[in-house]
Amino acid sequence: MNLEPLLQNEVPYLIAQGKALPECPIFLPGSFNPFHEGHEKLLRVACKKTQCVGTLELSISNVDKPDLCSKELEIRLASIPSDLTVVLTNAPTFIQKARCFPNRPFVLGFDTAIRLLDPKYHADILGMLAEFRALKTRFFVAGRSINQTFYDPFKLDIPKGFEELFLQIPEAVFRVDLSSTELRG
């Protein structure tokens, strides 16, 4: 797969799997190392809530991990069901993802939502949230079990005035205690 157009910022995304970007996508960003049942179920729940088409977003660059090469991308794509659309971006942060796909929702686990709101990754959290609002970006957040403790999405610490950007997916609607890290062992 030729990643040069992404690396050179000539295009905002490439379709890695599927024919085209759906007209109304909801994005599940992730590293999918490997893709698993939790990803699939979360995407299904998000589609049902939004009436959008589930689309996976995989960035070739990540703020915490090394960049992905073509070989590693092939390995990760091989674990993803062929009926799912996968877009590749060079957007390691959520504000970059939102700029690539304005006016589109994203679905995240609690742990990812925590990182989204962490000043370590975004120096100006309030400015970033204001830009999400301007871009009409919304986040559907599901709870997540971390170290055998379940973190409820309703307990996410959202800065005052930006609560409408985050919509919680209740535990009764979605809970899968599985992670790619655990699967890799």
Q: What is the pLDDT of residues 56-111, one digit of tens each?
A: 999 999 888 899 988 999 999 999 999 999 999 999 999 999 999 999 999 999 99
Give the 3-state secondary structure of residue 154.
helix
Average pLDDT, the chain: 93
Domain count, the chain: 1
pLDDT of 181: 62
pLDDT over 70 for what percent of the chain?
A: 96
Least confident of 2-6, 115-119, 139-143: 2-6
pLDDT of 180: 61
The whole domain housing 69 covers 4-184
Give the 3-state secondary structure of residue 145.
strand
CATH code, domain with 91: 3.40.50.620
Tokens matching residue 46: 């998000």
Pairing of β 53-59 and β 166-169: unpaired
